[in-house]
């Protein structure tokens, strides 16, 4: 076995969170790896971008405590999660009447107290939500594969404020898909591992550094120190040359990028956008907390980057999944965000600058019964990794990291 591993030399295509995790995972076993990345920096759909002389993320991201594999990987490569992420108790506060905060109590008490002390819910909604969670627990968080999130919630009487402020935003944030089109099982996997998990699992973790510094750069440095290499600006146009040079190849490109390399695997997917609208206000503009919900327009969440990365006055408005905003010009998007922020926070001054980053194919549509490819392909010694390949999780950073570990395990 050790002999076999010594003869291996692996190429990974794509330096997103999946490809880098696969590479580190192989590096831990002493297998030399070269990662080929077409872009100028590693990170893929979670990366730093420089635009108009400013360094921003391609989109605001949020992690949860349940992302234990990603957090473990960060520690492996020397990226300290406690320093690089702001860890907050589960707290969903909206500019309107709803707020929910989990107290420092062991699970599941933290959730029960959070629901019963929340503002903006009726008593029947609180009891109904607890009953819903218990019913899902009895079903081990699995239902028929064809059921949508909307159908599941409707069947369990989850309507009104609890749906509007808790279940729908959770579905859209985690699955990047509207409840009527979203897979109930992917949603339930998230509920199982977060709200129904330990208190730490439901905590919110918001990056304090850019997304390339969070994990990709430390991972690249770790690889460098362990006999590997990340080559940015190195697009791979076909696999034949790589296959003749390396014992194995892991293809860790986005599903929308797979076609030219491996046709026939990802053509059935449709995609959902995520827009991030950055607005730089004077430094005195500050949110009451790092992340605030807005429920009455196109913006779902607004983040105060001043409280996260230190650029006071910089707000990031997040608009996930499909919607009317896709038809808007950038100037109209900015005007709408400004109006929604002013409504929520009181009249705000004119921003000093704004920047819209539209990721039109941010993730696959996480629909019911969606077929996901496993790590194996029809080509010998060619494996797949990527957020879309995880069998049950929605396309997230954690799914990407898990898929990287799984692909590496096929080789090692
Ligand atoms: C705006 C936005 C917000 C998001 N918010 C969240 C969030 O809050 N929480 C969360 O968990 N997830 C979030 N996600 C999803 C998360 O970013 C993705 O699930 C994850 O980054 C996917 O990682 P990956 O490695 O599977 O794929 P990718 O990140 O897409 O990596 C693929 C890499 O392959 C490279 N590549 C492609 N073709 C080639 C080629 N031919 N040769 C060489 N290299 C190639 C690409 O440049 C890319 O770097 C968000 C995504 C977006 C876009």
Query: pLDDT for 262-296, tens place per residue?
Result: 999 999 999 999 999 999 999 999 999 999 999 88
Give pLDDT tens digits for 43-94. 999 999 999 899 999 999 999 999 999 999 999 999 999 999 999 989 999 9
- Mean pLDDT computed over 343-368: 96
Is residue 59 domain-resident? no
The pair of structure tokens assigned to 38 is 């077409």
Q: Which residues pair with 13 in a beta bridge?
A: 36, 251
Task: Inform me whether the pLDDT recorded for 96 exceeds 90.
Answer: no
Whether residue 121 sits in one domain with residue 22: no
Q: What is the mean pLDDT of residues 93-109?
A: 88
Region for 52 from its dihedrals, namely left if φ exceeds 0, alpha if ψ lies in -120 to 50, beta otherwise: left
On whether both 95 and 175 belong to a single domain, the answer is yes
Distance 19 CA to ligand 1 centre (A): 10
Q: Rounded to the nearest whole angstrom, what is the distance from the C-alpha of residue 95 to the centroid of ligand 1? A: 31
Is the domain of 77 the same as that of 136? Answer: no
Adjacent-strand bridge partners of 119:
99
Residue 4's pLDDT is what?
A: 67
Lookup: tokens for 349 = 């001054």
| Ligand 1 atom nearest to 43, measured from its CA | 49
Shared domain for 384 and 357, answered yes or no, is no
Q: Tell whether 102 and 76 lie within a shared domain.
A: no
**Within-domain flag for 56:** no
Q: What is the pLDDT of residues 382-392, one digit of tens each?
A: 999 999 999 99
pLDDT at residue 1 above 50? no
Q: Of all protein residues, whose CA lies closest to atom 15 belonging to ligand 1?
A: 396
Contact 382, 239 (CB under 8 A): yes
Alpha carbon of 258 to ligand 1 centroid (Å): 12
Domain boundary among 147, 173, 202: 202
Is residue 252 domain-shared with residue 393, that is, in the same domain?
yes
Residue 186, in any domain of the structure: yes
**57: in domain:** no
Residue 115 placed within a domain: yes
CATH number for the domain spanning 312: value is: 3.90.660.10
Indicate which CATH number applies to the domain containing 213. 3.50.50.60
Query: Is 34 inside a domain boundary?
Result: yes
Query: Do 336 and 282 have their domain in common?
Result: yes
- Specify if 149 maps to a domain: yes
Atom 30 of ligand 1, nearest CA residue: 254
Domain that holds residue 264: 2-48+64-83+209-268+368-411
244 with 379, same domain: the answer is yes
Measured from the Cβ of residue 331, the count of other Cβ atoms closer than 10 Å reads 10
- Rounded to whole angstroms, the Cα distance separating 311 from 12 reads 35
List all residues whose CB is within 6 A of at least one atom of ligand 1.
13-19, 36-39, 44-46, 58-59, 61-62, 235-236, 252-254, 257, 261, 274, 276, 359, 362-363, 386-387, 395-397, 400
Q: What is the pLDDT of residue 412?
A: 86
160 and 260 belong to one structural domain: no
Provide the pLDDT for residue 5: 65
- Given 159, 183, 202, which residue is the final one in a domain? 202
Same domain, 236 and 384: yes
For the cut 90, the answer to whether the pLDDT of residue 7 exceeds it is no
Q: Report residue 17: phi and psi, to 5°.
A: -65, -30
Q: Answer yes or no: is 53 within a domain.
A: no
Model confidence pTM above 0.85: yes
Whether 335 and 380 map to the same domain: the answer is: no
Locate the ligand 1 atom nearest the alpha carbon of residue 395 and give its number.
Answer: 19
Q: Are residues 307 and 384 in the same domain?
A: no
Query: Could you give the number of structural domains in the chain?
Result: 3
Say if residue 2's pLDDT is above 80: no
């Amino acid at each position: 076995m050790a002999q076999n591993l010594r003869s291996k030399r692996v190429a990974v295509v794509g330096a997103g969170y999946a490809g880098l995790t696969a590479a580190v995972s192989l590096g831990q076993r002493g297998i030399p790896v070269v990662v080929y990345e077409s872009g100028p920096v590693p990170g893929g759909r979670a990366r730093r971008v420089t635009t108009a002389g400013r360094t921003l993320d391609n989109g605001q991201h949020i992690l949860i405590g349940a992302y234990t594999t990603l957090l473990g990987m960060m520690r492996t490569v020397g990226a300290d999660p406690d320093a690089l992420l702001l860890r907050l108790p589960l707290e969903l506060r909206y500019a309107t009447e709803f707020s929910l905060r989990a107290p420092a109590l062991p699970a599941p008490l933290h959730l029960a107290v959070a629901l019963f002390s929340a503002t903006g819910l009726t008593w029947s909604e609180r009891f109904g939500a607890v009953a819903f969670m218990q019913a899902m627990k009895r079903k081990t968080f699995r239902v028929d594969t064809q059921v949508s999130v909307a159908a599941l919630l409707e069947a369990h009487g989850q309507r009104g404020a609890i749906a509007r402020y808790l279940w729908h935003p959770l579905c859209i944030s985690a699955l990047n898909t509207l409840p009527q089109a979203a897979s109930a099982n992917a949603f339930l996997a998230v509920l199982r591992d977060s709200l129904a998990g330990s208190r730490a699992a439901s905590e919110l973790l918001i990056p304090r550094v850019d997304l390339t510094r969070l994990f990709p750069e430390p991972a690249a440095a770790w690889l460098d120190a362990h006999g590997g290499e990340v080559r940015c600006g190195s697009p791979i146009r076909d696999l034949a040359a790589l296959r003749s040079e390396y014992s194995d190849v892991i293809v860790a490109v986005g599903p929308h990028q797979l076609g030219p390399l491996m046709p026939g695997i990802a053509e059935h997917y449709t995609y959902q956008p995520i827009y991030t609208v950055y607005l730089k206000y004077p430094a005195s503009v500050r949110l009451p907390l790092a992340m605030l919900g807005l429920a009455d327009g196109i913006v779902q969440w607004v983040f105060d980057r001043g409280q996260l990365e230190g650029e006071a006055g910089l707000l990031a408005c997040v608009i996930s999944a499909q919607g009317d905003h896709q038809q808007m010009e950038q100037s109209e998007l900015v005007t709408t965000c400004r109006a929604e922020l002013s409504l929520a926070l009181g009249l705000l001054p004119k921003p000093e600058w704004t920047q819209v980053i539209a990721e039109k194919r941010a993730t696959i549509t996480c629909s019911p019964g969606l077929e996901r490819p496993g790590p194996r392909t029809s080509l010998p010694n060619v494996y797949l990794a990527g957020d879309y390949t995880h069998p049950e999780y929605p396309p997230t950073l954690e799914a990407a990291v898990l898929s990287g570990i799984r692909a590496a395990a096929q080789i090692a």
